[in-house]
Amino acid sequence: MEAKIKALSELVPGERGIIAEVNHPEKVTKLMEMGCLPGEELRLDHIAPLGDPIAITLSGYKLSLRKRDAKHIMVRLLPELQAKV
């Protein structure tokens, strides 16, 4: 089975993956400084009640991101890491 690539904003709580690419035109440096680096494993922990922001675990810490920024972080879902829904 080939790994799916989805935007971080499309994940559901509990889904895990590896960052494949950060392609935000204005905030790529800022996101990378916060630890959103290609090759880093992450897990979507929580989505706020109104849908924004989202909370992820990345590099051993929690990070909160707006969905408009999360849509520019592409995540490779590995079959063994996908959430069981």
Per-residue model confidence (pLDDT) at position 79: 66
Which CATH number goes with the domain that contains 16? 2.30.30.90
pLDDT per position as a tens digit, 22-42: 998 788 888 888 888 999 999
Stated pTM of the model:
0.83
Per-residue model confidence (pLDDT) at position 85: 45
Measured between alpha carbons, how far is 65 from 85 in angstroms, rounded to an integer? 23
Range from 28-32, 50-54, 79-83 carrying the lowest mean pLDDT: 79-83
- Tokens 């935007």 locate to 7
Q: At 12, is the secondary structure helix, strand, or coil?
A: coil
Measured between alpha carbons, how far is 59 from 38 in angstroms, rounded to an integer? 12
Q: What is the mean pLDDT of residues 44-73?
A: 93
Domain extent for 10: 4-81
Q: What is the mean pLDDT of residues 41-69?
A: 93
Least Cα distance to 2 among 14, 20, 23 occurs for 20
Structural domains of the chain, count: 1
Measured between alpha carbons, how far is 82 from 61 in angstroms, rounded to an integer? 20
